[in-house]
């Protein structure tokens, strides 16, 4: 497959974890992507389609979770990072919603899948968890999910996985990955301001793990089941061909899982800022 990339160049502020920037990107041409816009592989493409479903509502969840405790943040630097974090998450949601519009036009039951996700996660599971454990758990889950998204971003950049995506989708995924790395410590630092409880941190991370990966797999397969061009033969063939990508992902994800359980862990320990800065300059 020949991966087409956009020739459009943008003047983008460099990565700065101490002072993140809100970058308004406005990606265009997503409706011109092929059905399997990542390496021509339906299994990998529908994995990313699942992220397009998860991210917009997830970004709003992150914003609410952090804003609920923003009045307890007295450090001026962290206050500014919280504002940038919120601004970046708003932009991420908007761009992924454009991808959902593209998928809707291709005939996928985006509205039904999104309704299932929102009703089960945000109208059922989260009200129960918040009632039982309070808002601090939501902040802890947000910190845990930010660790995952930053780790996935670093994996993508380190192995140039984003270059397997066509056109502006390549740039959207790359930009999102870079900003996840840039602001990866914000929710964690707010959590540490509110509570230094190790139990709260790891409990939130465990819930984040079940929720994120559970929904990612379920939604991916809802897309696959709704795709009339995928029969059992193609499903297993593309799943086999996706093996190298899955192996790269899970090898490093497994390492990141263990790192988060260290008592002295902090997101800055994993670095990745120079890598993100170099990658962002290619958009």
Tell me the domain boundaries of the chain.
32-280
Q: What is the pLDDT of residue 212?
A: 97
Given a cut of 50, whether residue 4 has pLDDT beyond it is no
pLDDT confidence bin for 113, thresholds 50/70/90: very high
Q: What is the pLDDT of residues 65-76, one digit of tens each?
A: 999 999 999 999
42-67 and 110-120 helices, crossing angle to 10°: 40
End-to-end CA distance of the chain: 21
pLDDT, mean of residues 89-111: 98
* pLDDT reported for residue 3: 46
pLDDT band at 8 (very low <50, low <70, confident <90, very high): low
Residue-wise pLDDT for 228-252, tens only, equals 999 999 999 999 999 998 888 888 8
- Give the pLDDT of residue 252: 87
45-49 average pLDDT score: 98
Q: How confident is the model at residue 55 (pLDDT cuts 50, 70, 90)?
A: very high
pLDDT in the model for residue 250: 87
Q: What is the mean pLDDT of residues 124-139?
A: 96
Calculate what percentage of the chain has a pLDDT beyond 70.
Answer: 97
């Amino acid at each position: 497959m020949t991966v087409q990339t956009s020739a459009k160049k943008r003047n983008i502020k460099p990565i700065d974890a101490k002072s993140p920037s809100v970058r308004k990107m406005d990606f265009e041409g997503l409706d011109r992507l092929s059905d399997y816009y990542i390496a021509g592989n339906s299994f990998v493409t529908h994995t990313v389609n699942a992220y397009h479903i998860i991210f917009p509502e997830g970004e709003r969840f992150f914003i609410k979770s952090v804003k609920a405790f923003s009045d307890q943040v007295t450090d001026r630097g962290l206050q500014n990072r919280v504002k940038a974090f919120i601004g970046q998450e708003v932009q991420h949601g908007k761009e992924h919603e454009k991808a959902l519009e593209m998928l809707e036009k291709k005939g996928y039951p985006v509205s039904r899948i999104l309704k299932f996700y929102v009703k089960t996660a945000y109208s059922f599971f989260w009200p129960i968890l918040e009632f039982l454990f309070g808002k601090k758990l939501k902040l802890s889950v947000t910190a845990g999910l930010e660790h995952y998204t930053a780790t996935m971003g670093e994996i993508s950049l380190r192995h140039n996985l984003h270059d397997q995506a066509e056109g502006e989708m390549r740039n959207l995924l790359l930009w999102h990955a870079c900003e996840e790395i840039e602001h990866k410590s914000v929710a964690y630092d707010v959590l540490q301001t509110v509570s230094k409880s190790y139990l709260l941190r790891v409990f939130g991370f465990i819930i984040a793990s079940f929720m994120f990966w559970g929904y990612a797999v379920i939604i991916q397969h809802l897309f696959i089941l709704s795709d009339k061009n995928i029969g059992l033969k193609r499903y297993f063939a593309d799943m086999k061909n996706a093996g190298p990508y899955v192996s790269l992902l899970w090898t490093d994800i497994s390492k990141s899982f263990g790192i988060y359980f260290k008592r002295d862990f902090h997101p800055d320990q994993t670095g990745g800022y120079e890598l993100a800065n170099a990658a962002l300059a290619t958009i």
